[in-house]
Chain A
Amino acid sequence: MSTESARLLTLAGTAPGLDPAARAGHLDHPPRMGFFTDTSVCIGCKACEVACKEWNAVPENGLLLTGMSYDNSVGLGASTWRHVAFIEQIGRPGEAPALPSSAAGGQAADGSRWLMSSDVCKHCTEAACLDVCPTGALMRTEFGTVVVQQDVCNGCGYCVSACPFGVIERREEDGRAWKCTLCYDRLGAGLEPACAKACPTESIQFGPVDELRVRAQQRVSELRDAGVAGARLYGEDPGDGVGGAGAFFLLLDEPEVYGLPPDPVVTTRDLPRMWRHVATAGAALALGALAACLGGGRPRP
């Protein structure tokens, strides 16, 4: 990216390839913590959804029967901070059946499989929500996570439109913006987030991001060697459009199949150009008024 963008992001407290907690001003901070969600072992039990709601006292937000396989929480939002997606892929001709173990997504002989994935806030290295927040409610914690300070947020809703993953949302009756906190209160006490603790298959793995990345790379190689060609990491690459995510995934298909954007880019990268055009347009407005007013304002006879 351009050096101007890098400079602007440095001012913001986030920057690519750098330690986001340090850039935000945390001296002597603990290692960056995050999630590696290995969807190849997810069994769709939704313990993560339940544990998250219980620990964080997230309100009930709809008792629906959507018809979207077993997904009745529909998507991440102000009152859904872990969302389990279900995709039934019936009969994929031409696919070589993978290992019969559930580790490979349990493909049937005709290639059918049922993808399950627990989605969550990505806690981006370059977090658009944080960049655009005008009150400073959204902040970077010492763990490198992104958290909304609920006593500051005035519900302007800017973060909602800035997030390239469609995660953060304004809660209707409450008015403020809410999202996953990566159980900031639990981290401070040396505990793991509620969803990671509840996950029975260790699909949700919690730990230092560096360690998780090593584990994830090993796991994806393992799956590819076993013939699961679609296995890939999502959000793991620090060179991606959000500088890599603190919460990244192992997916078995294209991101858009799961409702994820294929190549999200933090909007802030284009902001220097936007400000330049704003300045030019403002100058043009002034010049236009000057030109319009030349020739004096004395009344025509």
Chain B
Amino acid sequence: MVPKASFDSYYGRPVLKEPAWASPEVPGYLFLGGLAGASSVLAGFAQLSGNRELSRAAKAGAAAAIGLSMLALVDDLGRPARFMNMLRVLKVTSPMSVGSWLLAAYGPAAGAAAASAVTGRLPAGGAAATAGAAALGTGVATYTAALLSDTAVPAWHEGHREMPYVFAGSAATAAGGLGMLAVSPAHAGQAVRFAVLGAATELTAKSVLLRRLGAAAEPYQQGLAGRLMESGEVLTAAGLAGAVLAGRSRAAAAVSGAALMAASALTRFGVFEAGRASARDPKYTVEPQRERLRSGAAPVA
């Protein structure tokens, strides 16, 4: 039965268009891009402290992650052959434009840093590339929050204050997890600490976000998105516990690291699905706007 045209909606139809972005390409990129950027940051500081094993693993991981990211992003375009049009202009009003330029600079830097570390060649060039990738990596790991928030999608837009911290924290969790997975526990202490800081940040920021949203937090708490977010939290807790308790056990550290990486991915997929759900149901668009008009508040919060 078609729902009657009520006074709240037009036959229950969505007001907004559902995001054109496909899963797993785009939420997969959110995860991989965050992993890459944060790994480059970790690699930079690990190298400064003399931890060659961790920095090499982090660099290799960053390069692999960003390589996969590029494939996912180009594949998601409606006209993949025109991907170079992303560099036609630079617009600060478009997080995707800023991100494209960031990636154009970061990708080669991360690749060069990894190549130098793995082959041992051109150490000076490798150091410069590592520094560059670390600096740009802070942007790569966080700009995607602005990308999602700078839309009309209620669950994403309303979370725009906290989202960068959720993403930064999630990225650090993933990068720390990769470090724990890839190097022996003797060298992974810094990765563990990075993961702990990341997880704490992510969980705090997420809780602030949901609390601020109030009733509008529903898309994050129900349905597929709710299940993904909750699984992410469970795995974060499990991974953290494992990280702290693993001690010398390589296997335990690796499992914990993998759990933390999976947790980061689940969070990204959860945020993505929450956005889709909030665009699909007209009430998430209409009700807050109607409430704002009723209370006479200014549109810019």
Contacts and interface: CB of A to CB of B under 8 A. Distances in A.
Nearest to B40: A289
B264 interface: no
A154 B2 contact: no
B290 to A, nearest CB: 5
Main secondary structure of the interface of B (DSSP, over half): helix
A171 to B, nearest CB: 8
Contact of B150 (A69, A241, A267): A267
A270 B300 contact: yes
A259 B193 contact: no
Nearest to A281: B164
A288 B10 contact: no
B192 to A, nearest CB: 8
B190 A293 contact: yes
Contacts of A241: 299
B168 A282 contact: yes
A263 B292 CA distance: 8
A193 interface: no
A265 B300 CA distance: 8
Contacts of B147: 158
A299 B147 CA distance: 40
A166 B17 CA distance: 5
A94 B54 CA distance: 74
Interface in A137-177: 137, 152-158, 160-171, 174-177
Interface stretch (A17-25, A54-62, A125-133): A125-133
A178 to B, nearest CB: 10
A278 B78 CA distance: 28
Interface in B211-227: none
Interface stretch (B89-97, B233-241, B249-257): B89-97
Interface string A262-277: 1111011111011101
B79 A176 contact: yes
Contact of B9 (A154, A165, A256, A271): A256
B165 interface: yes
A8 interface: yes
A281 B49 contact: no
With most chain B CB atoms within 10 A of its CB, the pick from A170, A258, A277 is A277
B299 A285 contact: no
B67 interface: no
B126 to A, nearest CB: 17
Interface residues of B, number: 97
Nearest to B5: A87
B108 interface: no
Contacts of A168: 17
Contacts of B8: 256
A66 interface: yes
B157 A267 contact: yes
Interface in B242-293: 279, 282, 285-286, 289-290, 292-293
B10 A163 contact: no
B21 A164 contact: no
A132 B95 contact: yes
A289 B172 contact: yes
Interface string B151-164: 11100010011111
B49 A296 contact: yes
A156 B97 CA distance: 11
A258 B9 CA distance: 7
Given A290-B45, A292-B197, A293-B49, A256 B282 contact: yes
A1 B299 CA distance: 9
B231 interface: no
Given A170-B78, A292-B190, A297-B46, A267 B164 contact: no
A241 B292 CA distance: 12
Contacts of B54: 297
B114 interface: no
B107 interface: no
A156 B50 contact: no
B290 A271 contact: no
Contacts of A292: 42, 45, 176, 190-191, 193-194, 197
Nearest to A76: B17
A191 interface: no
Contacts of A284: 165, 168, 201
22 contacts: A135-B86, A152-B88, A154-B82, A155-B82, A157-B20, A161-B17, A163-B16, A166-B152, A170-B20, A171-B78, A175-B78, A256-B7, A261-B15, A262-B289, A277-B145, A277-B146, A277-B165, A281-B142, A282-B139, A291-B193, A297-B189, A298-B51
Given A128-B151, A259-B13, A288-B168, 11 more contacts: A68-B5, A154-B82, A156-B76, A157-B21, A263-B290, A278-B143, A282-B138, A288-B194, A289-B45, A293-B193, A299-B186
Interface of B: 2, 5, 7-11, 13-17, 19-21, 37-38, 41-42, 44-46, 48-52, 54-55, 76-80, 82-83, 85-86, 88-89, 91-97, 100, 134, 138-139, 141-143, 145-147, 149-153, 157, 160-165, 167-168, 171-172, 176, 184-187, 189-191, 193-194, 197-198, 201, 279, 282, 285-286, 289-290, 292-293, 299-301
